[in-house]
Amino acid sequence: RRAGDIAGGLGSLSKTLRLMLQSAVLGVGAWLVIEQQATGGIMIASSIMVGRALAPVDLAIASWKPFLMARQSWKRLQDLFGKIPPVPETMALPAPRRDLRVENVTIVPPGEKRPTVAAVGFQIQAGSALGIIGPSGSGKSTLSRALVGAWSAAGGKVRLDGASLGQWNREALGRHIGYLPQGVELFDGTIAENIARFEEDADSEAIVAAARTAGAHDLILRFEEGYKTRIGESGSSLSAGQRQRIGLARALYGDPFLVVLDEPNANLDAEGEAAVVRAIASVRERNGIVVVVAHRPSAIGVVDQVLMMEGGRQKAFGPRDAVLGQVLKPAHAGRNGFAATGHGIMPLRVVANPAKSEKHSEPEKTDGDT
């Protein structure tokens, strides 16, 4: 604001002086013409030359504020880059093949001060699938972001084959991880570019293979331009279900070792859910690891391990049948009973005296319950 005030004042002063000088030149030129010491052309030419000579002064004054703003912006950028630690050099590590280990992980979301996930630890072997269940707000999506390295753990470690995620080169690590977030984010480009993660010289066969595994190949071919169809910013030209299928194909591109799917069937119909189940099975068959965050029992049916989250903490972990047998209890078994319904795994209604009414010992029926 101060620079703007100074530039405005100097600009007005410069314009006033320029007009006064040009008027004086015209006046002197007119007097010389009258005295027949000069011609009219010299008078006009002199006025133009004075205006041209003073133009750089006006331009410098008008550019003073943008110059100061650019200098201040450059200084702020230097301060910001000075606060960002340099990226450490890392050794190239072999592709992960054995396991995923989570060691007492605590996660504080960016911008927050309190952890939303605390003291979570488990180990998954290659060829296994883990289902993460729990009520809304229990920290399932937060944990999934930490598993893929999108958020750093405030405490504890996430390890692939014994190496923490910080020991990996970020670009190399990305090739071994596939991630389908709860809100699918696509980018302005073609379907093929989004599936290939905008990789230069992407392999067409790998793109098609990922789409087939995700059950999206036939869906893509229905578009007039197929894989070359441009989807617009954030996939605006696609429906929610189509974005979900293409996002799943992107997560499976390149056969990553670890695939994390956060609510993969949230916007899918029965055909799409079946495709998700087949995709999970295909990752297990090639000896990869799948982590599925789910509310619907259909996705849990193909996993062999289950992690139960509650209040940001690990409540139960182990083989699927053992954990589900522990948490899926009748309502009168206690306050922490859960019911598997068509709408997901949800807490049952608490009944103080179940013997008082027989109907209170059963979960409330809703549309879609089986």
Q: What residue ranges do the domains of the chain occupy?
A: 2-83, 185-255
129-133/289-293 β-pairing? parallel
Span 22-34, mean pLDDT? Answer: 83
Q: Identify whether the C-beta of residue 214 lies closer than 8 Å to the C-beta of residue 180.
A: no
Q: Which among 316, 178, 196 is positioned nearest to 256, based on CA atoms?
A: 178
| CATH 3.40.50.300 is the classification of domain 185-255 | yes
CA distance 205 to 27: 82
The least confident of 2-6, 101-105, 279-283 is 2-6
Phi-psi region of 20 (alpha: psi -120 to 50; beta: other; left: phi over 0): alpha
How much is the pLDDT for 306?
93
Length of the chain: 370
Neighbours of 151 (CB within 10 A): 17
Which tokens sit at 35? 């005295």
Enter the pTM of the model.
0.68
Cα separation, 66 vs 53, in Å, equals 23
DSSP 226-263: GGG-B--GGGTTS-HHHHHHHHHHHHHTT--SEEEEES
Residue 180's H or E segment, with its range, is strand 177-180
Per residue in 186-234, pLDDT (tens digit) is: 999 999 999 999 998 889 999 999 999 998 999 999 999 999 999 988 8
Integer angstrom CA distances of residue 304 from 131, 176, 288, 297, 320:
8, 22, 13, 13, 5
Q: Tokens 């052309």 belong to which residue?
A: 41
- Whether the per-residue pLDDT at 360 is higher than 50: the answer is no
pLDDT of residue 144: 93
What phi and psi values does residue 120 have, to the nearest 5 degrees? -105, 130
How many Cβ atoms sit within 10 Å of the Cβ of residue 307?
Answer: 24
Among the ranges 21-25, 124-128, 325-329, which has the highest mean pLDDT value? 124-128
Dump pLDDT digits (tens) for 135-180. 888 899 999 999 999 998 999 999 999 999 988 888 889 999 999 9
